[in-house]
Amino acid sequence: MKKTTWETLARAAFAASAITAAMAVPAAAHATVLPLQNAVITASYNGAGAAMLGLDDGYAGSPGGNRSALDPLGVYAEFLSTDFNFAFDFGADGTLAIYNNSGAPLDPGAYSFRFDFSSTLAAPITAFRLLDGSAVSGLPVFSILDGGTALGLNLGALAWNGDFTPVTASIETAGAAAVPEPGSMSILLAGAGAIALLRRRRAPG
C-alpha cells in the first residue's frame, strides 16, 4: 500500500511539473530554427545578377543561375563571381565565408554584392558580425536591406593576400531559440527527483 502511495505521488508530481513547464516555456524553446535554415539566395555583383554563378546551376551561368539554395553537405560555395575573384559559402547556422578565389593578391576595387533571401528566412536578419578579417587589410561594409530579407556587402576597400584564408562573418536573425526559464527547469528537476526517489525505494535491499 505504501509503495502504491509513493508511486501515485511521484507520478502526479512529474505530470504537474511537465504541465507547468510547458505553460511557462514559449513554444520556441522546443525547436531551434537556424538563422539561414532552408534559405534560397539570389545574388548580384555590382548590380548584375548574371555576374554571379550559383551552385544549383553548377556554376554554369545559365539564365537565373544566380539563385541557389544552401549546399546540404556544407562542402561547396553557393556562389562564385564570374571574374572568379570571389567565392561565397553560406552555412545554415548563419556563418558566411568569403574567399579570395583568384589565387593571387587582390587589390581594392569595385566589389559590391547583394544577397536576397526573400521570404525563405524564418525571421528577418537583425545583425551581421565580422568574425575573422585576418586575411585582408581594411574592413568590409555590411548592410541589412529590405527589412532584413537581404544583405549588401561591399568589399571594395579590402586588400587580400594570396592565400585561401577566408573572411568570416556571422549573420544573425530575430528567430533565436528561447532558453527555458530557471524556474521551469527547477520544476522539471523536482518532478524527476520524485521519480528517482521512487525508484530508489523500490530497489532491492
| pLDDT digit string, tens, across residues 61-98 | 999 999 999 999 989 999 999 999 999 999 999 999 99
Q: Are 63 and 74 in contact (CB under 8 A)?
A: no
Residue found under cell 532584413: 148
What distance in Å separates the CA atoms of residue 204 and residue 146, rounded to the nearest whole number?
A: 66
For the chain, the structural domain boundaries read 2-30+180-202, 40-173
C-alpha cell at position 19:
504541465
Residue 151's CB: how many other CB atoms inside 10 A?
A: 22
pLDDT tens string, the chain, 205 residues long: the values are 444 444 544 455 445 554 444 444 444 444 578 999 999 999 999 999 999 999 999 999 999 999 999 999 989 999 999 999 999 999 999 999 999 999 899 999 999 999 999 999 999 999 999 999 999 999 999 999 999 999 999 999 999 988 889 999 999 999 654 334 444 444 444 444 444 443 444 455 5
